Structure 1
Amino acid sequence: MTEIRPGTYVLMDAAQGAAVGSYDTCAVTVLATVMSKPTADRVVLDAGVKALTAFTREGGICGTPGHGLLKGFDGLRIGKLYDEHGLVYGKEANERLSLGDRVEIIPNHICPTCNLYDRMYLVEDGRVADELPILCRGKSQ
């Protein structure tokens, strides 16, 4: 063994899910809201670079297009990110998502995404069961 990635393995992400062929074990999502549908093939979410990280994983065994996968919406992905907004492209996205919908995004790369937050919430049966501080956030200074 020459390399280990404990954060990615424990929490999983869309890139690891793509590598193993299933997203069922992805433990972390980012909650977002559909803000607008300005065209027939574009949906705007309130989660951008500050919520998901601009880092992508385009190549290799973990290659995953875009910036995140919308959980429960097979095939819908964040195609582009701005500071506070994420764009989901395609007529299918516009047809399946409504204004105000809350969606869970499985990030493509969980490690830098976790570093954007002070805490994570453990959710069970749709309710917050516990809250965990992310103690290592900002410790790279």
Structure 2
Amino acid sequence: MTIETLGPQDLSFLARPLYGFFSTAAGPVPPQPRPVWFEVTPTGQLQLFTGADTPKVRQLRRDSRASLVVAAPVGERERWVSVAGPTTLVADGAWALVERLAARYWDLDDPIRAQDLAQMRDEQWLRVVIEPETVRRYAM
């Protein structure tokens, strides 16, 4: 199988604090996309975090395939990037990812958001790392 990579325009688009819609391969069950925060790693993988005991983790342990679709917000020209491939679940670095993404998506100078992040510290997190095998895109 040919592994596809994200191009410079994809990387620029994905560097924005946009929501991604994450779906696991669910066999006969229809996919149940969930909005997630994400980032692209320096090696071109995508990563997000999730609680260690969530339905998506249980599904990924059965079948590691997943996809992430990121779309431009309403009011911008239509554009999206879709990445699909196998995932790896990693505990190492999960809290650092939570903190990085919270700073990307929230204003942590807001005391309410800072408190939200502090409360998240007590949870057990995993990084979900997607290795892009298929990259599809659309831009007007």
Q: TM-score, normalised by structure 2?
A: 0.32
| Greater fraction helix | 2
| Greater relative CO (CA pairs within 8 A, separation 6+) | 2
Q: TM-score, normalised by structure 1?
A: 0.32
